[in-house]
Structure 1
Amino acid sequence: MTQIIVLPHAELCPDGALIEAEAGKSICQTLLENDIPIEHACEMSCACTTCHIVVREGFASLGEADELEEDMLDKAWGLEPTSRLSCQATVGETPLVIEIPRYTINMAKEGHR
């Protein structure tokens, strides 16, 4: 099992969390299984940016983002060099420290069509 430290997020994880993650699972799936309700409006199909995270430690251990993920990340709020879509980033053997950005762009939730 790999440890993931989730930095505090005012709404989703106010105290932060230390969770054990199974290698090979997506970060999004792991967060959801550990009661951290990260948004995933497209049901983890790499069609939105609501599960955007910033990997503060362990970024180099993740596989490279493919072109579709890179294109979607370009639309994410608060994009940083170590941003990933948590539905696409797979847990490996290296511990991670992640931050869920304060804001997300969710057109359906915001009433846009």
Structure 2
Amino acid sequence: MPTLRILPHRDYCPDGATLTAEAGVTVCDAMIAGGVEIDHACEKSCACTTCHVVVREGYATLGEASEIEEDLLDRAWGLSPTSRLSCQAVLGSADVTVEIPRYSINHAREASH
């Protein structure tokens, strides 16, 4: 089982986290199951960028990004060459480290404030 390490984020995971997940699970589902409540405004349907993460280690071990995911990532804040939508990034058998960007474009959350 791969280990998913989440770097500290002031809102979602202030102390960082290290989780164990099953191969074949998305990064988003693994984080949510581990108590890291990352935004996912489109309910993980690959229709927004609120679950955007930057993969710091293990990028090549994730399932390949679709063209739709790549197009959406162009709208993500803090885009990096190793950016992924966590709802689409499927864990393989190797360990992965991700960073949740400081900001996201989350209209649902902004509207509720």
TM-score normalised by the shorter chain: which range applies? Answer: over 0.9
CA distance in 1, matches of 2:110, 2:36: 21
Which residue is 1:89 aligned to? Answer: 89
Q: Which residues of structure 2 form unaligned runs of 5+?
A: none
Q: Within the alignment, does 1:20 sit opposite 2:41 as a pair?
A: no
CA distance in 2, matches of 1:61, 1:28: 16
Paired amino acid for 1:60: A
Runs of 4+ in 1 over 6 A off after TM superposition: none
Which residue is 2:102 aligned to? Answer: 102
- SS of 1:110's equivalent in the other structure is helix
Paired amino acid for 1:77: W
Which residue is 1:72 aligned to? Answer: 72
- SS of 2:70's equivalent in the other structure is helix
Which residue is 1:59 aligned to? Answer: 59
- SS of 2:71's equivalent in the other structure is helix
Q: Would you say how many aligned residue pairs link Structure 1 and Structure 2?
A: 111
Q: Which residues of structure 1 form unaligned runs of 5+?
A: none
CA distance in 1, matches of 2:109, 2:100: 18
Q: Please report the RMSD computed on the Cα atoms of aligned residues, expressed in angstroms.
A: 0.7
Q: Quote the offset at 1:28 in angstroms.
A: 0.3
Which residue is 2:32 aligned to? Answer: 32
Q: Which has the higher helix share?
A: 2
CA distance in 2, matches of 1:40, 1:14: 19
